[in-house]
């Protein structure tokens, strides 16, 4: 009879182990998906403005990213400004625009250019600004590549460092993650087995 009880006991234990293993396996899969799959953080389009005054343009240089837009605002009432920017890699996309004298009823006193990544590659460019037909200022514009950054889920580490810092996946980090998951999995199995073991032995 004791042997039957022992057999039944271990049969129940095996079933409990199977059920708990399935639960823990689901948890492990979730953790793997959460940590290994990066979150893609694409660059959002921004707008960079240049203010064309009587005797200056502010700023006179800028660093922008592909997919951004640049706007030249003419705030002088009696001067017309024309902006030209050549595309050395594709002359069909050379840009020219004339900003009329300032007025507060429309937007014909500004010029806007969208830096379409298909047309404007990363590099250094010069925007030539003409005032009433004469070269007035040169604006240096650096266009940087629009890249997609990979970030890990948001955590605040014990060291005080916050996540959402742009990271690059490395073999060392992945190996460390796998070791941690393996230890977690083994610990879960050990606890299940230990919890299901009978306490002491029944005497015949």
Task: Give the whole-angstrom CA distance, residue 21 versus residue 189.
Answer: 7
Mean pLDDT of 45-66: 94
Whether residues 12 and 29 fall in one domain: yes
Query: Is 201 inside a domain boundary?
Result: no
pLDDT at 35 over 70: no
Task: Give the whole-angstrom CA distance, residue 107 versus residue 112.
Answer: 10
Q: Which domain holds residue 153?
A: 2-40+149-196
Whether residues 126 and 56 fall in one domain: yes
Query: Is 204 inside a domain boundary?
Result: no
Q: Which residue has the higher pLDDT, 47 or 179?
A: 47
Q: What is the dihedral of CA 128, 74, 82, 91, to 10 degrees?
A: 60
SS3 at position 69:
strand
Banded model confidence at residue 145, pLDDT cuts 50, 70, 90 = very high
Task: Give the whole-angstrom CA distance, residue 28 versus residue 35.
Answer: 11
Query: Is 203 inside a domain boundary?
Result: no
Nearest to 72 by CA among 44, 36, 96, 38: 96
When the pLDDT of each residue in the chain is averaged and rounded to a whole number, the result is 75
Whether residues 54 and 132 fall in one domain: yes
Whether residues 182 and 101 fall in one domain: no
pLDDT at 195: 59
pLDDT at 152: 44
Q: Which residue has the higher pLDDT, 78 or 9?
A: 78
Whether residues 33 and 113 fall in one domain: no
pLDDT at 41: 45
pLDDT at 169: 44
Whether residues 31 and 55 fall in one domain: no
pLDDT at 102: 95
Q: Which residue has the higher pLDDT, 108 or 151?
A: 108
Task: Give the whole-angstrom CA distance, residue 139 versus residue 128.
Answer: 6
Whether residues 84 and 119 fall in one domain: yes
Q: How far is CA 62 from CA 10, 16, 30, 73, 148, in A?
A: 73, 65, 44, 15, 21
Task: Give the whole-angstrom CA distance, residue 85 versus residue 71.
Answer: 13
pLDDT at 24: 56
Task: Give the whole-angstrom CA distance, residue 18 versus residue 186.
Answer: 14
Query: Is 202 inside a domain boundary?
Result: no
Q: How far is CA 200 from CA 6, 9, 17, 71, 197, in A?
A: 12, 13, 20, 81, 9
CATH number at residue 64: 2.60.40.420
Query: Is 17 inside a domain boundary?
Result: yes
pLDDT at 43: 56
pLDDT at 100 over 80: yes
pLDDT at 164: 43
pLDDT at 202: 46
* Number of domains making up the chain: 2
Mean pLDDT of 154-181: 52
């Amino acid at each position: 009879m004791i042997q039957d009880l022992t057999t039944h006991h271990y049969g129940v234990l095996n079933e409990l182990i199977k059920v708990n293993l399935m639960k823990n396996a689901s948890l492990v899969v979730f953790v793997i998906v959460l940590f290994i799959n990066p979150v893609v953080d694409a660059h959002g389009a921004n707008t960079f403005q240049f203010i064309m005054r009587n005797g200056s343009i502010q700023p006179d240089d800028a660093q922008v990213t592909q997919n951004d837009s640049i706007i030249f605002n003419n705030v002088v009432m009696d001067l017309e400004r024309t902006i030209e920017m050549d595309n050395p890699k594709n002359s069909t996309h050379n840009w020219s625009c004339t900003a009329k004298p300032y007025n507060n009823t429309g937007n014909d006193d500004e010029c806007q250019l969208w830096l379409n990544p298909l047309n404007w590659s990363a590099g250094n460019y010069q925007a030539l600004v003409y005032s009433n037909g004469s070269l007035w200022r040169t604006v240096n514009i650096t266009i940087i590549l629009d890249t997609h950054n990979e970030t890990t889920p948001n955590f605040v580490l014990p060291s005080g460092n916050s996540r959402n810092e742009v990271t690059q996946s490395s073999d060392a980090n992945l190996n460390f993650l796998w070791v941690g998951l393996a230890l977690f999995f083994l610990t879960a199995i050990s606890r299940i087995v230990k919890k299901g073991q009978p306490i002491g032995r029944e005497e015949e």
